[in-house]
Amino acid sequence: MKRVKQKQPVPNWRFYFVVALLVALPVALVSRMASLQVLNGDRGVEFLQKQGNARAVRVMAVNATRGMITDRNGQPLAVSTPVVSLWADPATLREEDLASLAKALHQSEAALRKRLAAYAGKRFMYLARRLPPARAAQVSELRIKGVHEQREYQRFYPAGAYAAQLVGIVNVDDEGISGLELAYDDWLRGAPGKRKVVISGKLDKRGRRVNEVVSVIGELAPVQPGKDLRLSIDLRLQYVQYRELARAVRETGASSGSAVTLDVDTGEVLAVNSYPSFNPNNRRSISKHLKAGDTRNRVFTDVLEPGSTVKTLSVAAALESGQYTIDSVIDTAPGEIVVAGKRIADPRNYGELSLARVLAKSSQVGTARLALDLGVDPIWEMFNRFGLGQSTGSGFPGERAGALRVKDKWYLTEQVTLAYGYGLTATPLQLARAYAAIAKDGELMPVSLLAHRDDVEVHGEQIIDKAIASDLRKALASVVKGDGTATRAAVPGFAVGGKTGTARKLGKTGYRDDSHFALFAGLAPIDNPKIVTVVLIDDPQGEEYGGGAVAAPVFSRIAAGVLPLLSVPFDDRALLAAAGDAQLGEAM
């Protein structure tokens, strides 16, 4: 008979040890609580609070609102609207949540998994940036563990393409990257704050923790909102100028166009445009426009040889020399001149011309004879005094200075061609500033892209005598009358003046005969100028490509739209002249 082994009884010491352990743990906890709350007093309470806070209290960053950009009348050009960015902790996202998360984000599950794989081992990954709050709420309502919200702001540009190149844009982190958004980024952005908050520790229906802010304990660092920026431009004028510039570029088949209008009295930029432009609210298209150069504000960044527009300054040098008056006569016969083997010619033989008529007919021969008589120094010095080849100090990012060469020795051909606008480069803004000085009795004003306060008086530098400036304005008035080169610049109801320019563009092998810049610099009204507008059309196509045929009509339409908006009264004499021309046309 087999013997059955009997189980050995559990030693009593093991039983008593387990019982003692079960009794000791609660006693230890109670003792610790008593020690903290009773024996240690305040230190105990502080310890418990710290432990509780570690589980429920958080320090939250509070984003600052970027300052608003407005035109001079308070019309918004750039504003910040609340948006929500969603981010995830890849380490805590669960496999079973990925399909529903991808669907809520309007992404494919495969694309989401690929991004998560790229962020493996990291604790932060953006799921979507700058969503409308309602759409972000659709994702947050899923209560997916590891998905979090981040409150931000998105920049919106109400003026769209009309002011895009001037105002500029911000990147996805709300940092200025172009235009005045970049130039005044520190002013606009402000500083984020810090806030201590209580986070809810409750669980949802699926047993997941819901990290919601249930109360604010206090502000650790106050938010410093960005400051607003009031620009000098008038959005109404900006629109008129953009419309006419766009029309001209399309109608002439040009590659681009630029225009700038200055307030003669203050030097403020009232309107500044380049075309083509871009829609700053369409983020997806910006890279395409960046490659095409549409984001560039050519008024500030593009330099060119200004051609005949600087003949006005050459005449100013002649008047200042004391050898000439505005009525002094220069013989341009037989319509051409040879300088150091280079033939310089007018379209036809103009014969004897006064200095005023040299400008009205834009005579190359007359300007060349003037340059040979004066020498290069007075002309160069006058160009330099008017700010050509120098930055205007506008503060616009990427503004170029151009070049006005300093030479010890000038060849005769260089001396002559400089006088009619070759051998130097300038921006359209520099030309506008120079003509504004003529309009303001010879006072060169600082250029401003910000609106001046009403109680601030701005002064410039007197660079030519008032009488010389007055003579130049009379000569510029003749350019748009009779047989002048810019009759298409005339503005019904207003007496205006200005100067045309047609400059050949440089190619790989020298100056091209088939590619030009068409320019016009205009003053309005001519008797008491309020505005100066410079128009540049780059490479117009067709038989008519000159400044008088292409750029002058753009000035006419801009001035006709802008002057009434500035409450400039009509000129009775100009109205009568316009009526007389109309009657003459009907009779013919």
Residues that are catalytic: 308
Phi then psi for residue 359, to 5 deg, are -75, -40
Order of strands, sheet of 256-263, starting from the edge strand that comes earlier in the sequence = 269-275, 256-263, 531-538, 510-524, 497-507
The conformational region for residue 349 under phi > 0 = left, psi -120 to 50 = alpha, else beta, is beta
Would you give the DSSP letter of residue 137?
H
Between strands 69-70 and 229-230, the pairing is: parallel
How far is it, in rounded angstroms, from Cα 152 to Cα 40? 45
Q: Which residues contact 567 (CB under 8 A, 6 or more apart)?
A: none
Q: Which residues contact 4 (CB under 8 A, 6 or more apart)?
A: none
Helix axes 376-385, 412-419, angle to 10 degrees: 40
Asked whether the beta carbons of 574 and 493 are under 8 A apart, the reply is: yes
Asked whether the beta carbons of 456 and 490 are under 8 A apart, the reply is: no
Quote the longest CA-to-CA distance of the chain.
Answer: 152
CA 49 to chain centre: 52
Calculate Rg over the CA atoms of the chain. Answer: 37
Asked whether the beta carbons of 348 and 335 are under 8 A apart, the reply is: yes
Instruction: Report DSSP letters for 244-292, one per residue.
Output: HHHHHHHHHT-SEEEEEEEETTT-BEEEEEEES---TT-GGGHHHHHHH
How far is it, in rounded angstroms, from Cα 222 to Cα 352? 75
Q: Is the peptide bond before 158 cis (omega within 30 degrees of 0)?
A: no
Instruction: Give the three-class secondary structure for 115.
Output: helix
Pull the structure tokens for residue 579.
Answer: 């009526």
How far is it, in rounded angstroms, from Cα 59 to Cα 49? 16
Asked whether the beta carbons of 501 and 536 are under 8 A apart, the reply is: no
